Amino acid sequence: MFSFFKKKPSASDAPPALPDPAVDSAAAPLEAERRSWLARLRGAPSEAATSIAAPPASQPVVAASDAPMDTEDRRSWIDKLRGGLRKTGSSIAEVFTGTLIDGALYEELESALLMADAGVKATAYLLADLKWRVAEERARTPQAVKALLANAITDLLRPLERGLRVGEHVPTVIMVVGVNGAGKTTSIGKLTRHLADANQKVLLAAADTFRAAAREQLAVWAGRSRVEIVGQEGGDPAAVTFDAVLAGKARGCDVVIADTAGRLTTQVHLMDELKKIRRVIAKAQDGAPHEVLLVVDGNTGQNALAQVQTFDAALQLTGLIITKLDGTAKGGVLAAIALWARERADTGAPIVPVYFIGVGEKLEDLQTFDAREYAQALLS
Ligand SMILES: Nc1nc2c(ncn2[C@@H]2O[C@H](COP(=O)(O)OP(=O)(O)OP(=O)(O)O)[C@@H](O)[C@H]2O)c(=O)[nH]1
Ligand SMILES: [Mg+2]
C-alpha cells in the first residue's frame, strides 16, 4: 500500500574535512576525487537499492494511495508541516539575507543547521556538499546558495523515500515500536484506516498489555476501521502477538499490525521483551515480521538518532514513522537520520526509510514522506 518511492543513491562515508572549493584554489588537485565523491553521493542507485525499490513483478503488491501530491489534503498537510518547521525555516532564511557568499555565511549556516538538530556530522556533510554545488554551479548570490542547499538536503534525504508495501507476504506482519508517547497507537490507527479503505483485511494485535487503556485506545481505532483486534489484558505481549499472527493467517488477513508498549531504550528487560516479540512472530510465520517500524516523536531532537540506533541494534528496523512535526520540532534530525541510514546501507544492510510523517492527530495528518517537499518545508 501507500506510495512507492524510488532510488537510494549509493552511499558514501561522511565527507572528509574538505577545503572550500569556492574560495580555495589550492583545492584543484582534489577536484577529481571530490567530483567522484559527489557523483557517488548523488549518483545512480546501488544494486541493493534497486532490489528494495522494485517490487517483484509477480507479487500482488497493493498501493493504497500513491502520494496524493495535488490533493487538497496533501496541500493542507504541507502547510501544517511548514508551520511546524517555521522556526527552523526562518533561522535558515536569516543566513541568506546578505549579499555576500563568504565564510561568515557558511558559519551562520553551520550554526543554523546545528540549532535545527541536524547534528555535527550531517551539518558537516551538508556544508561540504553545498560548497561543492556553489562552486560547480558558480552561484553568485546568497539566494542561489539557498536554492542549492534545498537540493543538497533533498539529495541527502532522498534515500529515505520509500512506500510501505503490503501484499508480498500474506499476511504482511508489521511490528510497531518506540518510546512512550511517540505516537505508535495513533499512527497504527491511521495506517489501519488507510489499509481498510484499500480493502485490505487488517488484524491488530494489542501487544501493549501494560495499560488497560492501551488496548481500549487501539480498539477505538479498530472500531473506526471495522477491523479485528486480538488482545488480552495483562497477558504476555509476546503470547498475544503470537496468537494474533496465527489468527491473521487462519482468517486470511492481508496485514497484521502489532502495537507494543512504549519503553525507554535504557530499560534492558523491556528491550529484551521486544526481541522476544520479534522472535515469536518469526515462529508464527516464516520470514516475519516483514516490517519493524520505529515511531519517533519529531520533537525529540538529537536524541531521535540515538533512539533509532538503539532500536535498530535490538530489532533490525525496516522503517520509520516521524510524528508530531506540527509542534515545536526543528526538523533537522532527519538529516542526521539520513546520514546514519546511508552508513548503515554501506554495510550491505537495507536502507531504513521514513515511510510516514505525522503532523497531527487526524487521519489525514499522516502522509508519505517526500524528500523534496520536506527540504522545501525546512527552508520555507
Ligand atoms: N500533535 C500531534 N500529536 C500526535 C501526533 N501523533 C500522535 N499524537 C498524539 O500523541 C499522543 C500519544 O500518542 P499515542 O499514539 O498514544 O502514543 P504511543 O506511542 O502509542 O504511546 P504509548 O503507547 O503510551 O507509549 C496522543 O495524544 C496523540 O494524539 C502528531 O503527529 N502530532
Ligand atoms: Mg500506544
pLDDT band at residue 17, thresholds of 50, 70 and 90?
A: very low
Q: What is the model's pLDDT at position 215?
A: 92
Judge if the upstream peptide bond of residue 289 is cis by omega within 30 degrees of 0: yes
pLDDT digits (tens, 9 = 90+) for 146-159: 999 999 999 999 99
Which grid cell is 346?
Answer: 554501506
Q: Quick check: 296 and 321 in contact, CB under 8 A?
A: yes
Cβ(363) – ligand 1 distance below 6 Å: no
Residue 45 has pLDDT above 50, yes or no: no
Percent of the chain with pLDDT over 90: 76
Question: In whole angstroms, how far apart are CA 303 and each of 110, 119, 179, 186, 372?
Answer: 19, 10, 11, 21, 24
Nearest atom (ligand 1) to Cα of 189: 15
CA of 379 to the centre of ligand 1 (A): 26
Whole-angstrom distance, CA of residue 144 vs CA of residue 315: 43
CA–CA gap between residue 23 and residue 110 (Å, rounded) = 17
Specify whether the CB–CB gap between 254 and 202 falls below 8 A.
yes
Residue 99, pLDDT > 60, answer yes
Question: What is 254-291 written as a DSSP string?
Answer: SEEEEEE----TT-HHHHHHHHHHHHHHHHHSTT--SE
For the ranges 27-31, 120-124, 276-280, 298-302, which has the lowest average pLDDT? 27-31
**At residue 365, does pLDDT exceed 50?**
yes
**How sure is the predictor about 191, in pLDDT bands with cuts at 50, 70 and 90?**
very high
Reply yes or no on whether the pLDDT at 5 is more than 90: no
- How far apart, in whole angstroms, are the C-alpha atoms of residue 244 and residue 378? 40
186 lines ligand 1 (CB under 6 A): yes
What is the pLDDT at residue 70? 55
- Say yes or no: CB of residue 185 within 6 Å of ligand 1: yes
pLDDT averaged over the chain?
A: 85
With the most atoms of ligand 1 within 8 angstroms of its CB, the residue from 175, 186, 264 to mutate is 186
Contact between residue 138 and residue 145 where contact means Cβ atoms under 8 Å apart? no
99: which 3 cell numbers? 549579499
Whether the CB-CB separation of 304 and 220 falls below 8 Å is answered with no
Mean pLDDT of the 179-202 span: 95
User: Could you tell me if the CB of 300 is within 6 A of ligand 1?
Assistant: no
Neighbours of 355 (CB within 10 A): 26
Candidates 376, 366, 380, 378; CA nearest to 67 is 366
| Distance of alpha carbon 380 from alpha carbon 377, whole angstroms | 5
**pLDDT-based confidence at residue 100 (cuts at 50, 70, 90):** very high
| Cβ of 209 less than 6 Å from ligand 1 | no
- Report whether residue 189 contacts ligand 1, using a CB cutoff of 6 Å: no
* C-alpha distances in Å from residue 370, one per residue of 4, 154, 374: 11, 9, 6
Instruction: Give Cα 171 to chain centroid, integer Å.
Output: 23
116: pLDDT strictly greater than 70 = yes
Specify the ligand 1 atom closest to the Cα of 186: 15
Res 19 pLDDT > 60: no
| Residue for grid cell 500482488 | 60
Q: pLDDT digits over 256-267, tens only?
A: 999 999 999 999
Q: What is the pLDDT of residues 315-335, one digit of tens each?
A: 999 999 999 999 889 999 999
Q: What is the pLDDT of residue 140?
A: 95
- The cell numbers describing 41, all together, are 553521493
At residue 234, the pLDDT reads 82
268-287 residue pLDDT tens: 999 999 999 999 999 999 99
Ligand 1, atom 13: nearest CA belongs to which residue? 183
Separation of 368 CA from ligand 2 center, angstroms? 21
Higher-confidence residue of 300 and 49: namely: 300
